[in-house]
Structure 1
Amino acid sequence: MDIVSVALKRYSTKAFDATKKLTAEQAENLKTLLQYSPSSTNSQPWHFIVASSDEGKARVAKAASGTYVFNERKILDASHVVVFCAKTAMDDAWLERVVNQEEADGRFANADAKAANHKGRTFFADMHRKELHDDAQWMAKQVYLNVGNFLLGVAAMGLDAVPIEGVDFAILDAEFDLKA
């Protein structure tokens, strides 16, 4: 596969055919793309809502009301809808969780390598949390890395996609209790 050809073919879909559904394998591949996206220092400050049922998509579509009603059909007609969510805080517990998962995945040759990796990630997290005070923006940028990776990945799978920012985020937050 030639990645440049995929990028040249990719476009933002304007409408979806509600009768077309992803296979189970395609749906799993979407989740894999989300999981293995790059992020700065592998911080992974995100989580996702993947809606494929009519009920789930209707919950997401609540945020496409009023001013954003033009996006409602896209949400309701797509086979799968992914809501990309940035963490509200990158606390020490999260950083420990990430490094422990990396260890479980076999990414470190020894305990010193794990400690060095954790120290480096914590350095950058602390820089954004304690010095620059821009950790929310930094985490949002990491989520956008995932969005870009995802859009290119689904295009490589031959699937249509569209990034949508035209939603009421306060409604999404309330519907899925995202600020909790």
Structure 2
Amino acid sequence: MDTVTLAKRRYTTKAYDASRKIPQATVDALLEQLRHSPSSVNSQPWHFVVADSAEGKARIAKSTEAFAYNTPKILDASHVIVFAARTEMPESHLQAVLEQEAADGRFRTEQARAGQAQTRLGYVDLHRFDQKDLQHWMEKQVYLALGTALLGAAAHGLDATPIEGFDSKVLDAELGLRERGFTSVVLLSLGYRSEEDFNAGLNKSRLPAPAVFTFL
């Protein structure tokens, strides 16, 4: 199926069939696609927590006490992914990314390796010291990963719900994210819609092309 059809078909699921589970092979494929999400200068400033058990989903749902309408979307979904961003960009992470690139054959010369390291650090320092928006910049990379996952879910015939209505402080504490150098940004519920999902039967609505495109 072409990507335009997928984009038109997918929608934000409001209710899940708690009796249906995503096959493990499908989950594995989606997570591999997620792992290969794009990020600025391949910075990969993220971590993903995946819950598929009732216990795991209940832990995530603790963060929706003030957003009770989102709790069933977590508890009834087959899987829930917590998208977390780094709270800083340490040298250890930059070095790990560089070493992985080298192991994957990204550099033909030591000069190329040094150039990549310098370029990436340059962007990190630009946001850390000059624009002073490093956290926001890293979170933007996480949303690139979310977009990748949403289209991937549609390609696998899955229903999905991106969720920002949760308490990140509560969730970070529950999962011990901040101690590991991360903070939760957005959640993604995955599974199969319930027959009670009112949004499934509504027409999709977007602004017309002339309102959203300017051609130069």
Question: TM-score higher than 0.5 here?
Answer: yes
Q: What SS does structure 2 have at the residue aligned with 1:60?
A: helix
Which residue is 2:124 aligned to?
125
Shift of 1:164: 0.4
Q: 1:83-162 residue pairs with structure 2 within 5 A?
A: 83-162=82-161
The structure with the largest alpha-carbon Rg is 2
1:107 Cα deviation after fit: 1.7
- Match of 2:14? 14
Matched residue type, 1:175: E
SS of match in other structure, 2:81: strand
Offset, 1:118: 1.1
Aligned residue in 1 for 2:199: none
Letter in 1 for 2:87: T
| Mapped partners of 1:92, 1:26: distance in 2 | 35
The residue matched to 1:162 in structure 2 has which SS?
A: strand
Please name the residue that 1:59 is paired with.
59
Q: CA deviation at 1:92?
A: 1.6
* Mapping of residues 31-42 of structure 1, within 5 Å: 31-42=31-42
Q: Distance in 2 between matches of 1:106 and 1:50?
A: 29
Structure 1 residue 33 displacement after superposition: 2.0
Q: What corresponds to 1:25 in structure 2?
A: 25
Q: Deviations for 1:140-173, whole angstroms, at most 9, x for unmatched residues?
A: 1110111111101111111100100111111101
User: Structure 1 CA distance, aligned partners of 2:63 and 2:30?
Assistant: 23
| Superposition deviation, residue 31 in structure 1 | 1.3
Task: Report what 2:68 is aligned to.
Answer: 69
The offset of 1:39, in angstroms, is 0.5
Amino acid at match of 1:158: G
SS of alignment partner, residue 130 of structure 1? helix
Greater strand fraction, Structure 1 or Structure 2: 2
Deviation per CA, 1:60-106, whole angstroms, max 9, x where unpaired?
010111x2011111100111100000000012211111111111112
Give every structure 1 segment of 4 or more consecutive aligned residues whose post-TM-superposition deviation is greater than 3 Å. Answer: none
User: TM-score, normalization: structure 2?
Assistant: 0.81
Distance of 1:159 and 1:5 partners within structure 2: 14
Unpaired runs of at least 5, structure 2: 180-216
Q: CA deviation at 1:114?
A: 1.4
For these two proteins, the number of residue pairs brought into alignment is: 179
Shift of 1:110: 2.3
Q: Which amino acid aligns with 2:149?
A: F
Aligned-residue identity in percent: 51
Partner Cα distance (1:14, 1:36) in 2: 28
